[in-house]
Amino acid sequence: MPVPVVLATCAAVGSLITSVKSGWELRRMIKRKQEQFVAEDEAPYIFRRLRRAHREGILNDREYEDCYERFLVARAEKDLPALHRLRAHLRIAEAGAP
């Protein structure tokens, strides 16, 4: 008789763990989708800022090409953290840091 109780307990714990894991995965997917929407909204502003920095001489041609390539990759992958890093780089360059 104790064997079915142990099996039932193990099955219940396994089910609970699976439910928690599924919840975490769903939350991660929702967060990623929200970041993709934000990335699509922010991308045009970052691109305009990048062009302006190049036009004003803040970025030379090599830096502009490097930043533009990083921008294209981040936009294609809808990678919000990469866009934020690029925006931070532009902010530092505009502030006059070497």
Residue 68 pLDDT > 60, yes or no?
A: yes
**Backbone angles phi and psi of 8, in degrees to 5:** -65, -40
The whole-angstrom separation of Cα 21 and Cα 88 is 34
Give the pLDDT confidence score for residue 48 in this predicted structure.
95
Give the pLDDT confidence score for residue 5 in this predicted structure.
80
Could you report the per-residue pLDDT of 10-63, keeping only the tens digit for each? 888 888 999 999 999 999 999 999 999 999 999 999 999 999 999 999 999 999
The whole-angstrom separation of Cα 95 and Cα 98 is 9
